[in-house]
């Protein structure tokens, strides 16, 4: 639908629902139909990754491994049935934090280049959260024509597990050493070994990775 002008309506029924949370979209079928008939829309930006589009967050590294683990976990359908879907991502994150091997990265945001010897993840947000409410890009908005980029780097494993990850669960900006926030229109990430990439909860490919903002590319129907 990107660039066609055809509007998209979302009836949330998944385990993450981060787009629905951002726009406060209804989960009630009657209100959903009412929203379709009223046809109130908003033009939102999309993430463009090698001509593949996404709405929420694209990332490499630890977050991609967490997403991969969630998609193949035996406990995801169990927690979904219990209404505890957000815990699926928390469990996967803790497991991956204990085993993930960091990597070296070179990150170019617009015309500025940064190199990190120890990189855990780089997340490019069009939305502030993923994984059912984990606020990884706290300043992101799908209507501001910008990428909000969060980089976790040059920090130890136990520091992430004991300090940074709990702050992430609280949904707060993490104002600590090792967490860098930047904004831009496009980002290219190169790594010293192939690292998985993810968008909207789906593992798509490995690095090198180029992400750009595609402004006002999709009309979303508001059903709140």
Select the more confidently predicted residue: 99 or 132. 99
pTM (two decimals): 0.87
Select the more confidently predicted residue: 86 or 159. 159
How confident is the model at residue 164, as a pLDDT? 80
pLDDT digits (tens, 9 = 90+) for 21-72: 899 999 999 999 999 999 999 999 999 987 789 999 998 998 888 878 877 7
Average pLDDT, integer, range 11-23: 86
How confident is the model at residue 171, as a pLDDT? 67
Every domain of the chain and the residues it spans: 45-216
**What distance in Å separates the CA atoms of residue 211 and residue 53, rounded to the nearest whole number?**
10
The H-assigned helical ranges of the chain are: 18-23, 29-38, 62-71, 76-81, 86-99, 157-159, 165-169
Residue 169 has pLDDT above 70, yes or no: no
Domain with residues 45-216, CATH architecture: Sandwich (2.60)
């Amino acid at each position: 639908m990107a660039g066609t002008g055809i509007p998209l309506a979302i009836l949330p029924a998944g385990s993450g629902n981060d787009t629905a949370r951002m726009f406060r979209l209804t989960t009630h079928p009657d209100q959903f139909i009412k929203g379709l008939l009223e046809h109130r829309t908003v033009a939102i930006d999309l993430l463009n990754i090698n001509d593949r589009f996404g709405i929420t967050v694209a990332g490499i590294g630890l977050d991609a491994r967490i997403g991969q683990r969630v998609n193949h976990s035996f406990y995801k359908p169990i927690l979904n049935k219990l209404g505890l879907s957000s815990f699926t991502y928390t469990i996967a994150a803790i497991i991956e934090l204990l085993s993930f091997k960091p990597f070296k990265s070179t990150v170019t945001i617009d015309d500025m280049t940064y190199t990190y010897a120890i990189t855990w993840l780089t997340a490019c947000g069009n939305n502030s959260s993923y994984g059912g409410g984990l606020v990884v890009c706290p300043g992101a908005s799908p209507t501001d024509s910008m990428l909000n980029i969060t980089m976790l780097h040059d920090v130890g494993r136990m520091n992430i597990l004991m300090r940074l990850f709990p702050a992430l669960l609280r949904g707060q900006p993490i104002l600590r050493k090792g967490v860098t926030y930047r904004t831009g229109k496009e980002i290219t990430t190169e790594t010293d070994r192939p690292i998985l990439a993810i968008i909207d909860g789906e593992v798509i490919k490995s690095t090198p990775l180029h992400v750009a903002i595609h402004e006002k590319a999709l009309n979303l129907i508001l059903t709140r």
